[in-house]
Amino acid sequence: MIIELIPLSETYSIYKVLSANDILKKQIYGEFFSISISDDEVSVVCKSGAIKKYVKCEPDWMGFRIKGVLNFALVGIIHQITKPLKENDITVFVTSTYNTDYIFVKANRFEQSKAIFKNDKNFKIVD
């Protein structure tokens, strides 16, 4: 199976905020954003600079969206994508939506990651 990856054009940050009330949706709209809420934290992934009030911020990530809708029975797709990145000491951050998965790498390693995928017969970069 060839995995098609769509590069995202924006630079992202991963924020930890005190409460969901600290997030104004109009601040974070972009090509992708995600809010995760658990009993002990609220995390947001969105375009860099979009959130001004936060506890912690991990800046400068760029990402890829897996093209298409992934079946929940699919096994090992994250491993298949992250393995060549791990082999090149590239840190990843992964998040999912109902339809698909997103793989983020530090912005300074994005072009290298893209080249790794382009040179691997298991992947296709869709621009």
- What is the pLDDT confidence band of residue 63, given thresholds at 50, 70 and 90? very high
pTM of the model: 0.90
Cα dist from 114 to 26, 95, 110, whole Å: 30, 18, 6
pLDDT at 58: 96
């769509």: which residue's tokens? Answer: 6
The number of folded domains in the chain is: 1
pLDDT in tens, 11-57: 999 999 988 776 766 566 678 888 898 999 999 999 898 888 889 99
Question: What is the rounded distance in angstroms from the CA atom of residue 30 to the CA atom of residue 86?
Answer: 28
Question: What is the rounded distance in angstroms from the CA atom of residue 103 to the CA atom of residue 97?
Answer: 12
CATH of the domain at 11: 3.30.2130.10
pLDDT in tens, 67-124: 987 776 667 789 999 999 999 999 999 999 888 999 999 999 999 999 999 999 999 9
Partners of 123 in beta bridges: 3
pLDDT at 21: 73
Q: Name the residue range of residue 69's domain.
A: 3-125
